[in-house]
Amino acid sequence: MNDFFTTILRGRKVLLGRDFYQFRQVQRNRLKLGNRFADWTFCPDTIDETSVIYSFGVGEDISFDLQLMNRFNLHIHAFDPSPNSIEWIRAQELPQEFHFYPIGLSARDGSISFSEPSDPGLSSLRMTDLASGQAALKTHSLPVNRLTTIMEKLGHNRLDILKMDIEGAEYEVVEDLLGSDIQVSQILIEFHHRFSYIGTAKTRRAIQQLNKAGFKIFDVSPSGEEMSFINSRG
């Protein structure tokens, strides 16, 4: 869908109270990578071969990850616990700089029940407790970890880019992240306030929490769902 139709449809959702307009809070150099189905915008100024990149929720599209990896000659750490994603990744011929981990991101360590959407044409899993009341095809118990746990396991003490497309779990992860002593330079998030059981209030609150911690928005996608934050405190 092109930006014109995205804008029209989004305007209708705003009028119905299911969306809101959020504008950039700071100006930064921006670079967009990926494809028209999954692209992400980040600030390239401090990214090089030593940068630590975590990409959560890769699904069956790693175009952003591969382009970022090739452009800056760096390693990508990608995560997704869903069976479809794991199977798809295993079928790909990937460079050794691409590291995949079949675990999800959460505000807790352990296993969590994930639901398949009732629409068989959709492949993204959602945490069952988040999707309460939503029809599901079936559920899966899958491993998850806190960001602090994952970083400790992988031996990282900072993140240059944290990308999250985790189907509504981003809200509790943001709270957990901000309550931890983690150094993150940029956070790229797809918010899921379009889900009726989430709503815009959660996204507004998450933005306020991130702003209070020093993260400012330097890019908003045409859909208004993907936002890029940079740590203004260094």
Q: Which of 3-12, 16-25, 113-122, 197-206 has the highest mean pLDDT?
A: 197-206
Per CATH, the number for 10-107+151-231 is 3.40.50
Encode pLDDT of 39-68 as tens digits: 999 999 999 999 999 999 999 999 999 999
In order, the DSSP letters of 66-131 are HHHHHHHT--EEEE---HHHHHHHHTS---TTEEEE--EE-SSSEEEEEEEESSTT----EETTTT
Can you give the pLDDT at residue 124?
65
Can you give the pLDDT at residue 110?
95
Encode pLDDT of 189-206 as tens digits: 999 998 888 899 999 999
134 vs 74: which has the higher pLDDT: 74
The answer for residues whose C-beta is within 8 angstroms of residue 105's C-beta and 6 or more apart is: 56, 57, 79, 144, 145, 146, 147, 150, 164, 166, 169, 173
- Domains in the chain: boundaries: 10-107+151-231
Residue 122 predicted with pLDDT over 60: no
**Global pTM?**
0.90
Can you give the pLDDT at residue 134?
52
